[in-house]
Amino acid sequence: MSSVKISNLEKAYGNVKVLHRLNLDVEDGRFVVLLGPSGCGKSTLLRMIAGLESVTGGDILFDDKRVNDVHAKDRNIAMVFQNYALYAHMTVRKNMAFSMRLNKTDKKTMDEKVNWASSILGLDEYLDRLPKELSGGQRQRVAMGRAIVRDPDVFLFDEPLSNLDAKLRVQMRTEIKDLHQRLKTTTVYVTHDQIEAMTMADEVVVMRGGYIEQSGTPMEIYDNPNNLFVAQFIGSPSMNILKCEVQQNNGAQSAVIGDTHFPLPTNSSLQVGQIIHYGIRPEHFHVSTQAQHGSIVGTVKVVEPTGPETHVYLNIAEHSLCAITRDRIELRPGDAIHLQPDLGHVHLFDGDTSNAI
């Protein structure tokens, strides 16, 4: 196992810069998730760590040793690809043993390792099958088996679950996390699915347009997003954002959009007339059918019961919002609904820079 350090890393294809002076520290044994929308550079970063892409500038260090010019085959990493990248003409056993066959491991060790990996991954009965005879989830497990038999210093996952159906994805998510807890190998995992990031990571690195927007534990990022992008990217349904003007009313400040006044936390140091983005997560509204002191009224558009909670999509003035309630309230489209924001969980962002205030 080893730590991975990225320092001032840059990548450019011709004149097009895709990664801009990235810095990242992955401590030994940690599970780090690179999260971002398509084209943010997360896969490129991962492939650079793997040695599949050249480095334009900056350094990649494994255990403080510079590996920029070390060939992929000499980095002692293992990678799981989005479409599994299995060797189609080899059986499951041969797929898993391929790396050992290349470095001429003796047959006994090879069998032991393959059997160990297949028992962890539940592949015992498929060892002599070809990849095409397996289901998507089984193929993904073979790809993981191929990775773990190598006993690598670093595990790299490139969107490994995006080709699986929803149920299998949840199951494999747990399996990967369980595997990491058992093997404690340093892991870098790329995904665009924020649920995967939240559920699996020790540390989430949110990327956009070749920059790292924020990194931290999942809850840190969820509770204290640095900027509007991170706030909206993390969380499902995503955070409600309203562009408001700060006004003074009856001795207290409030964020005003149209005729609606959203209460502001008392400790915020805002100036009257300032333009801000008022952010609040759907679950931080108190939802009621009756007017309460300081509540905001909206019109119900769509009601989505999910079982444990109900998602209510509503309109306030011309703006769409979402609120989540765990109470069982009878709501129909067109009904009036009263919301009370939980002031402790209101996020404010600068109107110009979109950074958190």
Partner 1 sequence: MTKRALPLRWLTSEHPLPWLFPVTSLLIVFGLYPVLYSLWLSFYKRNPATRKEKFMPSWNWEKLLSDERVWDAVQITFTYAFIALTLQLVLGLTIALILDSDKRGFGVLRALMTLPLVVPPAVTGMMFLLMYDSSFGVISNSLYSLGLLSPSTPILGTGSTALWGVIVADVWQWTPFMVLIMLAGLRALPREPFEAASIDGASSFQAFVFLTLPMMSKIIALAVLIRGIDLFRIFDYVKVMTDSGPGTATETLTAYAGTVYFKSANFPYASTVALATLILVLITASLFIKIFKVRF
Candidates 4, 19, 60, 86; binder of partner 1 (CB under 8 A) is 86
Complex with partner 1: residue 49 or 331, whichever CB lies closer: 49
Considering the complex, what minimum distance in angstroms separates the CB of residue 65 from partner 1? 18
Residues in 198-257 at the binding interface with partner 1, rule: CB under 8 A: none
Its sign, for the CA torsion 144, 145, 147, 151, is: positive
Q: Mind giving me the DSSP string for 183-242?
A: H--EEEEEES-HHHHHHH-SEEEEEETTEEEEEE-HHHHHHS-SBHHHHHHSSSSPPEEE
- Of the ranges 25-33, 94-102, 198-206, 283-291, which one interacts with partner 1 (CB under 8 A)? 94-102
Neighbour tally for 219: CB within 10 Å? 10
User: How many angstroms separate the CA atoms of 282 and 346, rounded?
Assistant: 11
Residues in 26-85 at the binding interface with partner 1, rule: CB under 8 A: 50-52, 71-75, 77-79, 81, 83-85
Considering the complex, what minimum distance in angstroms separates the CB of residue 55 from partner 1? 16
Q: What does the block give as tokens for 299?
A: 């019109």
Complex with partner 1: residue 81 or 211, whichever CB lies closer: 81
Q: Identify whether the C-beta of residue 35 lies closer than 8 Å to the C-beta of residue 150.
A: no
Considering the complex, what minimum distance in angstroms separates the CB of residue 133 from partner 1? 17
CA angle 240, 242, 245 (to 5 degrees): 150
Considering the complex, what minimum distance in angstroms separates the CB of residue 160 from partner 1? 12
CA distances (Å), origin 293, targets 4, 276, 284, 288, 345: 53, 24, 17, 12, 18
Q: Identify whether the C-beta of residue 346 lies closer than 8 Å to the C-beta of residue 259.
A: no
Complex with partner 1: residue 77 or 161, whichever CB lies closer: 77
Considering the complex, what minimum distance in angstroms separates the CB of residue 86 from partner 1? 7
User: How many angstroms separate the CA atoms of 335 and 343, rounded?
Assistant: 25
Residues in 143-182 at the binding interface with partner 1, rule: CB under 8 A: 146, 150
Considering the complex, what minimum distance in angstroms separates the CB of residue 64 from partner 1? 22
Residues 6+ apart with CB under 8 A from 294: 263, 340
Q: How many residues bind partner 1 (CB under 8 A)?
A: 25
Candidates 2, 44, 99, 194; binder of partner 1 (CB under 8 A) is 99
Complex with partner 1: residue 92 or 322, whichever CB lies closer: 92
Considering the complex, what minimum distance in angstroms separates the CB of residue 99 from partner 1? 4
Q: Which amino acid is at 279?
A: G
Considering the complex, what minimum distance in angstroms separates the CB of residue 129 from partner 1? 17
Q: What does the block give as tokens for 275?
A: 């333009």
Residue with tokens 């490994």: 160
Complex with partner 1: residue 73 or 184, whichever CB lies closer: 73
Complex with partner 1: residue 127 or 221, whichever CB lies closer: 127
Residues in 102-141 at the binding interface with partner 1, rule: CB under 8 A: 102-103
Backbone angles phi, psi at 172, to 5 degrees: -65, -35
Q: Does 88 bind partner 1 (CB under 8 A)?
A: yes
Complex with partner 1: residue 75 or 141, whichever CB lies closer: 75
Considering the complex, what minimum distance in angstroms separates the CB of residue 52 from partner 1? 5
Candidates 37, 59, 87, 119; binder of partner 1 (CB under 8 A) is 87
Q: Can you point out the beta strands (E) in the chain?
A: 4-13, 16-26, 31-35, 57-62, 65-66, 77-80, 154-158, 186-191, 203-208, 211-216, 240-249, 252-257, 260-263, 275-280, 285-288, 296-305, 310-316, 319-325, 336-341, 346-350
Positions that interact with partner 1 (CB under 8 A): 50-52, 71-75, 77-79, 81, 83-89, 98-99, 102-103, 146, 150
